[in-house]
């Protein structure tokens, strides 16, 4: 197995709720959408994961480019580890439509969100995603904290989603780096 895959598996186990004595903060109350339970993934390189999580410089875990869904969406997304936390970052080239109310940023279980849903809205099912935060702005660089309860191994895409009308504006398949 490649080193990057070991890193991702170890990182997932570090941030997942597990029985290895890792204390995690329950952030379900902070999310207006339901969160699902997450199983931990065993890690054989905990020292490498700890080093990645505690790095002061961002370490890229996964990344991908947005594809348009209900509305034109472009740019890139990446998950980074830094100072013991995980973040989803949208790059300076990110841009989506300002036409939707209640736009939010989520992580989705599918690696092909647009292909697994039906146009024109590309609606999502409850339980297939985890809420991160309301979209900060319609274009440009921005950063979102990923709750410690999220098992990254279960989520394969970053999505811009209109919660009010269940319409997917765009999705980026996240590939391990």
> For 128-154, how does the pLDDT look when each residue is reduced to its tens digit (9 = 90+)?
999 999 999 999 999 999 999 999 999
Range of the structural domain that residue 85 is part of: 3-176
pLDDT digits 0-9 by tens, 86-132: 999 999 999 999 998 999 999 999 999 999 999 999 999 999 999 99
pTM of the predicted structure, to 2 decimals = 0.71
Q: What is the domain count for the chain?
A: 1
CB 152 within 8 A of CB 54: no
pLDDT for the residue 66: 98
């Amino acid at each position: 197995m490649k080193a990057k895959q070991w890193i991702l598996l170890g990182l997932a186990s570090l941030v997942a709720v597990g029985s290895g004595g890792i204390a995690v903060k329950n952030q379900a109350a902070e999310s207006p959408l339901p969160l699902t339970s997450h199983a931990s993934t065993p890690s054989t390189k905990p020292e490498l994961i700890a080093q990645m999580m505690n790095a002061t410089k961002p370490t890229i875990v996964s990344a991908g480019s947005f594809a348009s869904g209900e509305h034109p969406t472009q740019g890139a997304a990446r998950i980074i580890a830094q100072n013991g936390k995980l973040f989803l970052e949208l790059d300076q080239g990110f841009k989506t439509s300002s036409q939707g109310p209640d736009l939010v940023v989520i992580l989705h279980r599918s690696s092909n969100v647009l292909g697994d849903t039906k146009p024109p809205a590309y609606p999502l099912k409850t339980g297939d995603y985890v809420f991160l935060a309301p979209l900060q702005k319609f274009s440009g660089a921005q950063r979102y904290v990923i709750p410690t309860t999220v098992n990254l191994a279960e989520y394969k895409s970053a999505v811009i989603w209109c919660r009010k009308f269940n319409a997917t504006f765009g999705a980026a398949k996240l590939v391990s780096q």
